[in-house]
Structure 1
């Protein structure tokens, strides 16, 4: 089990409270300015947004982390990625604007949903970015459906199995504290000297237009099933992707923050040893949410990888 990811049992309500109380001031290109559409996939109905749909560049699909919804990506991060390509955001089944049965949910189920979304939207062979749990989903997708993934970005993630490195007991104690507050949480997502970045991320999410409570919908049964999917269904013996990673064909960027206390940095090195065609992106003085420390710059770095010949 990766107990650190249990932070999302409390984070949805914290972000929702902050976001819905913030003034709406984002520009017209903010992700939430794009209407939510839905598509039926594998017995679920997935809510999604398509930014810059007329772009000629290869599409990029973003896969959310544990308990996150598509409205919680930093808007400047998404906007920068969408400057020269179509970007597809979506909610995993049973969360945010998506619905569907979640009993017995696994990472494989979410990978199958993502494959169904790519096919239904006729995206061809897009690039895929997965953050945290989204990285687990992205690995399964790329291994099971290699014709649906051109390039892969794995951010703050691990290969599962008993080989994966878990957070310290102190981090687990913080994240499982029922009285957790935003001031307790941000130091777990961001290093101590990067708290301004954490506050900026929350403010940016909250400043998006058209936000409603549905954008942050995190039903208890979905959270419980996602937690199980992230625990014994990913870290048990014979689980995860560790044993299969040498078969991964997609060129892969592995990004990690050197101060990540939720998915310790050793996991990135573990991935790098197993994935054949990989580039390692080490971000100093950064934590689990390194994507949202100077988010436009991180998106530009990902752009360079995706555009490389």
Structure 2
């Protein structure tokens, strides 16, 4: 099943796409990005086993601009509202970067809607985290933000074409500022221990945007979490290392949880 359309959720119209079949997997993208930024290869790999729900956050892609300032919790409400509108009672959730912040808040506020949780290159925010260099979002120099120099050199033509397709849908101006302000409000430093979902944390060892230390902290504070580090990968690891990332996710989602591990 493949479709792309809009559905009203609260005060916005969310652009979404359903891809593949199987257990639902809600995919929450990061700051400024649209659902196209996942890339075709990665989503095709996951769609072999799961029903992917891809969508644009408010103020990004083809989803409505937000009529008001908002928080990461509000964006988690958007995600939960999308599942409700699609009549999906429960899903796995994978959030990357700012999407990982949204996924944390989703896990805390909507535990009954969450099966397993996957956090990619994410952070807890607040005063317990270390933000790296995200200036590329504002300057448009996304290649250096997302990928290692080696990957860029080896895939320059493909990446040029990819950015030509995706960049027009990125957040800009007031919309981008609202997303940045929402991301700045994110703080789960004192509530990570309340996340009860079985959790996989994935990051790249060369991430300059949200350094690996943030994933180490998430893994230490979330009770039932496993950390996977992808070697020679940066912030855009799900694109540059699509096979590895998809394999890690499929293995994690296929495994049965062990209740004895939960503290």
Name the structure 1 match of 2:260. Answer: none
1:299 deviates by 1.0
Closer, same or farther: CA 146–201 of 1 in aligned 2, 3 Å: farther
Kindly report which structure 2 residues correspond to 1:231-242, keeping only aligned pairs within 5 A, or say none. Answer: 231=184, 233-234=185-186, 240-242=187-189
Name the structure 1 match of 2:47. Answer: 82
Name the structure 2 match of 1:43. Answer: 11
Structure 1: stretches of 5+ with no match in the other structure: 1-28, 235-239
TM-score (norm 2): 0.89
1:199 deviates by 3.5
Among 225, 230, 235, which residue is 2:183 paired with?
230
Closer, same or farther: CA 197–37 of 1 in aligned 2, 3 Å: farther
Q: Let me know the Cα RMSD of the aligned residues.
A: 2.4
Contact 1:81 1:303 in 2 (8 A): yes
Contact 1:198 1:292 in 2 (8 A): no
Contact 2:38 2:238 in 1 (8 A): no
Closer, same or farther: CA 100–190 of 1 in aligned 2, 3 Å: closer
Contact 2:69 2:178 in 1 (8 A): yes
Among 205, 211, 217, which residue is 1:270 paired with?
217
Aligned structure 1 segments of 4 or more residues deviating by more than 6 angstroms: none
1:187 deviates by 2.7
Closer, same or farther: CA 125–222 of 1 in aligned 2, 3 Å: same
For the residues of structure 1 that align with 2:44 and 2:180, how far apart are their CA atoms?
A: 30
1:94 deviates by 2.5
1:293 deviates by 1.9
Closer, same or farther: CA 204–224 of 1 in aligned 2, 3 Å: same
Name the structure 1 match of 2:195. Answer: 248
TM-score (norm 1): 0.76
Name the structure 2 match of 1:148. Answer: 113
Name the structure 2 match of 1:94. Answer: 59
For the residues of structure 2 that align with 1:299 and 1:133, how far apart are their CA atoms?
A: 20
For the residues of structure 2 that align with 1:197 and 1:152, how far apart are their CA atoms?
A: 32
1:249 deviates by 0.8
Kindly report which structure 2 residues correspond to 1:128-277, keeping only aligned pairs within 5 A, or say none. Answer: 128-167=93-132, 171=133, 175=136, 178=139, 181=141, 185-196=142-153, 199=156, 202=159, 205=162, 216=169, 218-231=171-184, 233-234=185-186, 240-277=187-224
Structure 2: stretches of 5+ with no match in the other structure: 257-263
Corresponding position: 1:280 with 2:227: yes
Question: What is the aligned length?
Answer: 256
For the residues of structure 2 that align with 1:197 and 1:140, how far apart are their CA atoms?
A: 37
Could you say what secondary structure the match of 1:269 adopts? helix
For the residues of structure 2 that align with 1:35 and 1:155, how far apart are their CA atoms?
A: 25
Among 27, 45, 52, which residue is 1:62 paired with?
27
Deviations 1:177-213 (A, max 9, x none): 85x65xxx42332222222466476357469xxx798
Higher strand share: 2
Closer, same or farther: CA 201–61 of 1 in aligned 2, 3 Å: farther
Contact 2:3 2:19 in 1 (8 A): no
Contact 2:72 2:102 in 1 (8 A): yes
